Structure 1
Amino acid sequence: AGLSINSSTGQIDVSASTPGTYTITYTTAGSCPNSSTASVTINAIDNASFSYALSSVCITATDVTPTITGVIGGTFSSTAGLSINASTGQIDVSASTPGAYTITYTTVGSCSNSSNVNLTILSDNGFSASALTDANVTCNGGSDGQITASATGGTAPYAYAWSNTATTAIINGISAGSYSVEVTDNVGCKASANATITEPTALNAAVSSSTDVACTGGTTGAATVSVTGGTAPYTYAWSNSAVNPTITGLGAGTYTVLVTDANGCTANTSVTINEPTLLTSVALVDSNVSCNGLFDGGVTATPTGGTSPYTYLWNNTATTASLNGVAAGTYTVTITDANGCTTTASATVTEPTLLSATGSVNANVSCNAGSNGEATVNVTGGTAPYTYAWSNTATTQTITGVAAGTYTVTVTDANGCTENASVTITEPTVLSATGSVNANVSCNAGNDGEATVNVTGGTAPYTYAWSNT
């Protein structure tokens, strides 16, 4: 079975037979029949099937290669004008002439076969592509750009191959840069286009100037923000609700600003407004007046905080930090720092009460030329303790055992202030007694005599002691 053979002639109809190996028996006729056998093999004809992906190819298409589904190793041929590789069947499209071609694939061997495929090389027919930027990137570094590619001519549908590997007609969500697209139509015609997505320069906000508060607790601070890049105009939103690039009347603190450009891009920065430490001052008495009425007092003012240098104005018109050689009294100074901040301080210079010395005689000399006089100096005011310097070299407050005369004393207090006093110790005139007889005794042994003593000098009253007692 499977072999188509004429039983009379033994002729084999090969085309009607099934490929395979067969045993054929020949038997003679007659009274003495005999038979013999022979083996024959029917080989299958080669399968020469092949195909190309497209039946029409654009002249601008890439080379096309066939898919062989039959026996490989055959040869390819075509009508004139087609540039084809005889071994592989690859067609060099760009080297071929537009037209319709019949391509033949022929196998080699004892049962060779061939098959044909028709393929048309088309001209590009004005096929072109364009790329249009729909939207550039709004903020530097963003990725919201969009480009649309379109094709004119050719055979739809179209395939798109972008430089960023996208395969759609529209690419979006892209960053700034140059993009190229190759559009291929349904028959392989290709066209290219380019488009550029731009972006604004980076939006940057920076504080270009700032002014610190001049005096503690004040509101003289100011700041200005400068903006570069982005897309003008800009809006400003400060943390203190200000909406201008420059803000004034600021107290100490940190202020932030959010800058928004026309595309809604934002940038922020901050500035710290400082203030000096609180300006304070103290005025201290360096020295009080040593002696009542003198001008040797001293006061010094010392500021802290604020901003140096400082200026000074006292209520006595002096302009130095220290006052020297001043009288007793209260001194007030106004201190102004470099920013015009002021503070005041006062100090009172005191003085002792007036040093006063008064001499008094405790006892005059009792007898002329005697030395039992005594005097004292009484001191008030000044600053105790006191020292004494008498004209007789005595150094005590009271002098005793002195003769008649005038004595001066210099009193010096603890501050060296001095005051003089004097005292005069007197003595009586010389005591003199002169006797005189008023009447002699008239008769011997009588007792009617009388005498008188006359006294001058000394100090009355006198007492008398006669020798007859």
Structure 2
Amino acid sequence: MPVFSQTVLTEGDIAFTRINIDDETLSFVLLVPIANSTKFIITDEAWNGSSLDAIESSIEFTATSDFLAGEEISIDTNILSFTSSGSGTASLLSIGAYSPINGNMLGAAGDNLFIYQSTGIPTATDFVAGINANSGVMGSPGNAWSTSTSSSNSLLPNGLTNGTDALGLFPNGGAQPEFDNARYMPTSLHTGDKATILASIMDLSNWEFDNDVPFPVSSATFNVTVPCTEPDIPTISYAPGTICDGNSALLNISGDLNDATTWYVYTGSCGGTLVGTTTGSSIIVTPTPPSTTYYVRGEGGCATAGSCGSVTITTTPREDASFSYSATAYCADSSDPTPTITGVSGGTFTSSGGLSLNATTGSIDVSASTPGAYTVTYSTSGLCDGSETASVTINTLPTVTFTAPEDLCLDAGIQADLGGGTATGGVYSGTGITDDGNGMTYSFDPAAAGVGIHTITYTLTNANGCTNAVSDDIEVTNTDAPSVDIITVGLTGDCAELSTGFTKTDILNGKNVYISNLDNFPLAVGFDGTKWVLFAMDIENTGFENTSVPAGLTPPLTGWVPTQCFDGTMDIYLGAYVCHGGTIADLSLLFSEDNIKIYVDATTETPLAETDLVINGNQYYISKTINGCESDRSVIEVTVGSEINNEATLNAGVITATQSNASYQWFACTGEGDEYLDGETGQSFTATEPGDYKVWVSVLGCSVESICITVSI
């Protein structure tokens, strides 16, 4: 049974080369390398046909290093030591019935030696080598391995064959006495492969014998060569069946390397340009379009470089994926570009994140993309798909800010050295704008721009050619002089108690239309085609009517009759009319415009104070201001009403107001607020029951009240 060692030995892996009965020494040669820890047994036990007798010596040989094939081991059994022709080391251990030390192994009457591998009692097939140095019966030819009658002779285990892997030394060619010492001659063959050297050792003509002098260890060294089997010329195939330009192919190599170590793959010729090696049966290659021939042969080891197997791979061209954009760079506000595909259509567009790309059309949503540089790849979808790339850069717009100057009057003159745009380097444009060409300033001519709101634009183009613009508005104001074509309307009664100006605004039905200057009480005086009316502008009902239609454009001054205003009076004065004691503030209320200023003449810069009294018959100069722009001054002559007499007299139960040519309204003085006396609008009032009474006297809306007069009946 073989031992479980590093190297398992078989018949003929070891051969004996020396046996000296006289000095108890022996030698054997390793015809194969053995690994560290390999064990085998050397014994002089006789084989009785079924087993060893187990009554003699045995030595356990344990390799403590690797041994090369050709190392010759020599053992001195007297002292249990060994030498090697090489560098291998080992340990020797006596394990037999008798220790071999001091001449107890090789018998003087002749003996035999075996080498076997087994973990226990060896069987006939566990033997590796044998040598017999006993002739058997004196003078009897050819009887080695013939008997096993003592410890000096032995049968041959049937796992070994004499002359093949075991050697019976005596007799040598016929009957002769045995010799104590024998050695494979140093001059015999020592170089060759295992079989050749083993056959030479098994040839007795290559041995030398001496009955008196032991042979020393041979000075000749063995060189065991390995016979070389050349590799097959391989058959080469490839996969897949279609190889696209630029793709790799799998070469499949069918054949045996034998004693070669590696398949070598060449292009150009057999042994030409090396492209790769493999110890397996396949290798990946990348053929060069349009075709590449690969040459493969086994090399290395003892093999001689020979012929190659070959295969030609013709590649399939890739689909044309040519495409292009109209430009390589786009600004963030550019129109979305779509590429032109000049190759195979129906492919897919891809790019890195940040670029908003339509995978089907390749259109780039510029505004939705993050500015930066990108590579767009277009890939077709066929078996041999193609791909091409294009570089596209999305550039940011320049950051611009601009603030227009404050609003201007039409006559403000040209405004020079204006700025307000950042970053510098831009251009200003707009109506009335002249850019100074320095990237920083401009001028603005309000007169050239004209009245109205104007847009000034600041445009900046950066180094990438991207343009951004920002705008702001400026208003040019030309304030018209206030209209002095007014009438003064005085109202009394339940609708209103007031005296205010109405300004002419239009002509309707051939007559002037006048609009009141009251912001919260808009009234108008106009001609409806048959009569003059006073009406509230937000409702259709009229307050007063007048069927008198004087010639010209202006309304009648008197004769107004209340309609929706159930009572009261209405009078008109053509022009500006201010109550007695009126001030500049009262005069201002006659005009519809806000921000009225009133001057004493056409040139004085300081307007009159609101508390200044209005002087009858004087001319006043009136301007208005819009957006800080003051208009020219209109001139108007103002009438100041006479002082209204508020006295009343009692005569026989009749109270009469002293002031004539006025409007009147009588009240009962109740002490808890005056009681309005409906219909009592005459200059005189006749009491029908005792009490206290008073009168309101009005001229063009200028009113005074009398004291309460007691009437007793």
Q: TM-score, normalised by structure 1?
A: 0.39
More strand by share: 1
Higher relative contact order (CA 8 A, sep 6+): 1
Q: TM-score, normalised by structure 2?
A: 0.29
